[in-house]
Structure 1
Amino acid sequence: MDVSEFLSQPLVARVATRGPEVRPVWFLWEDGAFWWLTGSYSRLERLLAEDARVALVVDTCDLAAGAVFSVTCRGEAEVVPLDRARAIRKLTRYLGPEDRWPARFSAPLDDPETSMVRFTPDRPPRLHDRSW
């Protein structure tokens, strides 16, 4: 499995900001960056304005299969305007077709306070295989 194949799965990333604050996010890996939604419902935009440095980890652990994979990255994140098409691609990964989404997931796309975070790692991500 390569890093793009691994990151194309609907996995949860954990993002750490200064503080430290750690939060789970649904993400999209696209154009060499991780993308996720943020808005007035989250303190993340304020935290990134104070210090844009973040660390991110995406990992899996299947004990029965003995498969452990991880990607860990560091760098700076920035809040950018909502890219609705990108946001829909991200949410579709996790929720399936848009017409089946619960309202709480589609409503933020119509909220003018909703933005996206673009996190471009300092180095290209590498997939670490610690399987046995």
Structure 2
Amino acid sequence: MPKYDISFNVDDNGRLEIVNGSYTDITKMSIRGCNGNLIEIDDKDEINALINCISGFSYTENSSLDGRRGWEYLINYYHGSQLISQISIMNSSDKYHANINGIHYTPNESGLGTCLSDRYYDELYGSEGNYTEEDH
């Protein structure tokens, strides 16, 4: 089985891109909530919808978040069973941020959290959730 060296990167214009491959190489994703609950998705339309949502933002590197740990959503992208990339989404100071390949970024537009909360919040956290509405 060939090794996939695919990963996400933020380009010079602040846009999310995939390097050493294409989005069609992603065959599965998993989304884990900070409570440990996990959703696995292999539907290509669902995978593409989430990628399109996350890549619809421009990002600025945010070194002030270096050293921060934790996440509200951890997204793993796979080709078959091989992990090819990981993005974590965290809420800090009432703003969502992304950790892509170990680098913290802040989107230049609001709404990153809704890419996940609108689709997966109830499934990961239940209808009552672990957070209050003020946290979102």
Q: Same fold (TM over 0.5)?
A: no
Q: Which has the larger radius of gyration?
A: 1
Query: Would you tell me which structure has more strand in proportion to its own residues?
Result: 1
Higher relative contact order (CA 8 A, sep 6+): 1
TM-score, structure 2 normalization: 0.32
TM-score (norm 1): 0.33
